[in-house]
Structure 1
Amino acid sequence: MKLVRFGDPGQESPGLLDAEGRMRDLSGVLPDINGAALAPSSLARLRGLDPHSLPIVPAGTRLGPPLAGIGKIVCIGLNYADHAREASLPIPQEPIVFMKAQTAICGPHDAIVLPPGSEKTDWELELVIAIGTTARRVAVGDALGHVAGYMTGLDMSERYWQLERGGQWTKGKSFDTFAPIGPWLATADEVGKPGELPMRLAVNGDRMQDSNTANMIFNPAQIISYVSGLMTLQPGDLIFTGTPAGVGMGMTPQRYLRAGERIDAGIAGLGEQQHTIVAD
């Protein structure tokens, strides 16, 4: 299944995509797509529905973040060797973990807002994991059984605040609109092999990132197992799994985003995002 949320910001309703790619309204079936809705029993109930029995959502309706009530946003840094090299940093021997604020979440076509005075806002396309069942100290072989689904995500990063103001990376990665997700949450059975997905990102039509999740240093199962040993993962938590090479910081000269520019990004099977960059 491909689950969506649609409507005005803060007032989104739950939905799904039918076989023809049309949005169908799920608000008569469940209150929202949140951690509780990602439980195996809830997803099984949704799979049993006939999508054509659900109301059609008018074309052009805004798509919001496909998950509500998000708990933790855990992120993995430098998880592609080529990205570590372009950042002139050593290839990690174990996952680098940091967090993003929940208030950074926005929809797949919403504007991305530059922080006041930003000079170094950068892009990072990432596979996002949505946790469906509680995971605490799980083995690698059991880890994917705790996944409800996957999404396209951007880990937007203001490099000045991330790297030049001291402290943790979280400071440069938690501004409002710095965690777009969607357009849909594809359930794990829909995705199949999350470690074999082509991914690409363009700025103003120029291809910047062109890679595959197969190039991760630590694959999704390893990441979930590792993180669940540090903290209990709960339904509705998200894990951003890292970005490949092609970010602005890695270019010579470095290239950062300015108001009026456009990002187009997507991961195979997980849909496309389009964002305009705007000033605060």
Structure 2
Amino acid sequence: MKYLARTTDGRPLLGDEEGFVPLPAAAPDLETVADALPRAAAGTLPDLEDVPADRIDGDHRQLGPPLAEFGKLWGIGLNYEDHAGDLGEGRPEEPASFMKPSTAVTGPGGPIRLPPVEQTDGVTAEAELAVVIGRGCRNLEDESTVDDVVAGYLPVVDVTAEDVLQRNPRFLTRAKSFDTFLVVGPAIAVPEDSIDLEELTVKTIVNGEIAAENEVRNMLFPPREIVAFHSRVMTLEAGDLFSTGTPGAEPIESGDHVRADIEGIGSVEAPVVRCRRR
């Protein structure tokens, strides 16, 4: 597995299990992580063994969001049958997708800022596996072609104002769109070979306790199917992100600590604070 990341001050990095090097040291023609996405999709990122630079342990780097700007931000609701059942929802026949604004994104460490209680007093956090698109595509014929356009995978925490949503399902966009309501992981995991996504486990962890856990194999619509489906709706572009659904949502309050953990991909965490009315 290789990793694409950025420091908090914007310096792009390329890494593996042993650490990170500056991306331009590995590939002088790549100035940003966004520049590297097509090569990640093509499987042609440089081998770090050939890079004349010392690796630095990721624990000794402060990492921000791996992209300065993401493209379209898609979310998928009710994608685990167990979760849909918990909410009293029937099995959807097609992906139940929604979009979030770019201003919802916050980097690893957050914090997740809860809106004033006058706006919402029922917020939940959800760990999810996200797919990052590496190159533009349209009308993918089937799932077998998806790996050719995917740069890699990312752990995220999706956040929802559940009480807003419960008032009316048409309020979904608003319930998902508050600032900091999408915490993105510190590094895009780029598989060197085709990865068996079904084997991955997604965990929502709050205050050190596992609140929800499930395997990707139990998704109603697997990640590759989600990408292929949406490519037949619109053109997908490098930097677009699909957050593929959660095994379960957990209520959060100010003072809590949330973590999304995805076996084999990585983790991201953030504290929770409450904003005051201005």
- 8 Å CA contact 1:125–1:200 kept in 2: the answer is yes
- 8 Å CA contact 1:143–1:221 kept in 2: the answer is yes
**1:29-53 Cα distance to aligned partner (Å, 9 max, x none):** 332211x321138965532454752
Consecutive unaligned residues of structure 2, counting only runs of 5 or more, are none
- 8 Å CA contact 1:129–1:240 kept in 2: the answer is yes
- 8 Å CA contact 1:198–1:213 kept in 2: the answer is yes
Change (3 A) 1:41 1:100: closer
**1:77-108 Cα distance to aligned partner (Å, 9 max, x none):** 11110110111111111111100111111222
Q: 2:122 is matched with which residue? A: 120
Change (3 A) 1:106 1:54: farther
**1:190-216 Cα distance to aligned partner (Å, 9 max, x none):** 671123201212211221011111110
Q: Specify which of 15, 23, 28 is matched with residue 26 of structure 1.
A: 23
Query: What letter is aligned with 2:31?
Result: P
Q: 2:65 is matched with which residue? A: 65
- 8 Å CA contact 2:123–2:161 kept in 1: the answer is yes
* Structural mapping, 1:70-219, within 5 Å: 70-117=70-117, 118-140=120-142, 141-164=144-167, 167-189=170-192, 192-219=195-222
Change (3 A) 1:123 1:92: same
CA distance in 2, matches of 1:119, 1:242: 23
How does the TM-score come out when normalised to structure 1?
A: 0.87
**1:148-193 Cα distance to aligned partner (Å, 9 max, x none):** 1111111111112333256341211121111111121011436711
SS in 2 for 1:139: coil
CA distance in 1, matches of 2:37, 2:190: 9
| Identity across matched positions, percent | 34
Aligned residue-pair number: 267
SS in 2 for 1:142: helix
Q: 2:10 is matched with which residue? A: 12
- 8 Å CA contact 1:265–1:273 kept in 2: the answer is yes
- 8 Å CA contact 2:73–2:240 kept in 1: the answer is yes
Q: 2:231 is matched with which residue? A: 228
- 8 Å CA contact 1:18–1:24 kept in 2: the answer is no
Consecutive unaligned residues of structure 1, counting only runs of 5 or more, are 249-255
- 8 Å CA contact 2:156–2:183 kept in 1: the answer is yes
CA distance in 2, matches of 1:14, 1:43: 19
**1:206-228 Cα distance to aligned partner (Å, 9 max, x none):** 21011111110011121111111
* Structural mapping, 1:35-46, within 5 Å: 36-40=35-39, 46=45
CA distance in 2, matches of 1:152, 1:86: 23
* Structural mapping, 1:246-257, within 5 Å: 247-248=249-250, 256-257=251-252
SS in 2 for 1:208: strand
How does the TM-score come out when normalised to structure 2?
A: 0.88
SS in 2 for 1:134: coil
Change (3 A) 1:40 1:258: same
Change (3 A) 1:273 1:243: same
Q: CA deviation at 1:72?
A: 0.3
- 8 Å CA contact 2:41–2:150 kept in 1: the answer is no
CA RMSD of aligned residues (A): 2.2
